[in-house]
């Protein structure tokens, strides 16, 4: 939003919202919402994360129910479907989620579980839409995320002013569609990064300069987000701090593989990618996903 933030709220019926999950992505996303003029009440199990929200001008709730009590929609930015189901299910059972409440799951969740949860919440009069994101921490900070929304068009329109404060919104289809396209996108990203790691390692062992290789790839048909961004920004600099873990990439690859297998389409590349990422995540607990480069280059890999 630009200009007077309040002008964007015409007809919304709220200027506040709740946000649960103030981690690497949730923190800059809430900051973008605050800059847009929304009053954000947020919760995270980490006291330091709640402190960051308060320091940015938000209200730190001491429990998830406190975030759900905010005047507008409730956004969830959690690790996986199990966490989303636990939080949303618990809030619904306690009455913290009320009939008419809109819940926006921006996590990377499993599409079918999202649809099942939406049906359970709908029985209580609560609407769930999914709106996962792509772009990582840098684009969360600049509020330029790609947001893939799944749900009824009227519900997406209801959420659009909130989502637009964090990035560009694409309506992917019915509920669960956002999580489906997000998983498939991340499978492509995982395959690109894994292939780039293998190619760069082989080239360096042959004696090629990694920057020369990247210059060639990025002006040729081999370019990808991995060669254009991740390698120069996070690997060659040895930063390995993109803000997205190897474990989450492995999880998303497995979700996408499940979708592909359920569709009955060929899955050889998807299966190999998911398997390799699962091995890497097991060997690199808590590591950033860009550290796949170091894992591939280890002797014996």
User: Which residues are tagged catalytic?
Assistant: 182
Query: Residue 172 phi/psi, 5° resolution?
Result: -85, -20
DSSP state of 53: H
Give the closest residue to 157 by CA, choosing from 165, 149, 167: 149
**SS3 at position 172:** strand
Contact between 126 and 149 (Cβ < 8 Å): no
Count Cα atoms within 13 angstroms, Cβ side, for 221. 0
- Angle between helical axes of 111-122 and 177-206 (0-180°, round to 10): 160
Contact between 180 and 111 (Cβ < 8 Å): yes
User: Distances in Å between the alpha carbon of 231 and those of 113, 144, 236?
Assistant: 34, 21, 6
Radius of gyration of the chain, Cα coordinates, nearest whole angstrom: 20
Compute CA 149 distance to the chain's CA centroid, rounded to the nearest angstrom: 12
Count Cα atoms within 13 angstroms, Cβ side, for 76. 28
Taken in order 70, 64, 48, 166, is the CA torsion positive or negative? negative
């Amino acid at each position: 939003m630009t200009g007077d933030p309040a002008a964007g709220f015409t007809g919304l019926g709220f200027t506040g919202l709740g946000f649960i999950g103030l981690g690497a992505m949730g923190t800059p996303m809430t900051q973008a919402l605050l800059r847009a003029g929304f009053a954000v009440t947020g919760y995270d199990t980490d006291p330091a994360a709640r402190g960051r929200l308060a320091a940015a001008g938000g209200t730190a709730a001491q429990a998830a129910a406190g975030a759900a009590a905010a005047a507008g929609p409730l956004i969830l930015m959690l690790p996986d479907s199990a966490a989303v189901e636990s939080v949303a299910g618990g809030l619904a059972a306690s009455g913290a989620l009320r009939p008419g409440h809109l819940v926006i799951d921006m996590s990377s969740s499993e599409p079918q579980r999202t649809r099942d949860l939406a049906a359970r919440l709908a029985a209580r009069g609560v609407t769930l839409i999914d709106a996962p994101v792509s772009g990582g921490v840098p684009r969360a900070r600049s509020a330029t995320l790609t947001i893939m929304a799944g749900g009824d068009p009227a519900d997406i329109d209801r959420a659009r002013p909130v989502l637009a404060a964090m990035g560009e919104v694409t309506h992917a289809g019915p509920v669960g569609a956002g999580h489906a396209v997000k998983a498939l996108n991340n499978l492509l990203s995982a395959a690109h990064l894994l292939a780039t790691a293998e190619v760069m390692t082989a080239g360096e062992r042959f004696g090629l300069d990694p920057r020369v290789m990247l210059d060639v790839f990025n002006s040729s048909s081999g370019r990808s987000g991995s060669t254009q961004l991740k390698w120069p920004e996070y690997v060659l600099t040895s930063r390995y701090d993109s803000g997205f873990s190897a474990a989450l990439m492995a999880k998303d690859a497995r979700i996408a593989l499940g979708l592909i297998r359920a569709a009955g389409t060929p899955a050889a590349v998807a299966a190999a990618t998911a398997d390799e990422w699962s091995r890497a995540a097991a060997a690199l607990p808590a590591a950033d996903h860009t550290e796949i480069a170091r894992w591939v280059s280890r002797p014996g890999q």
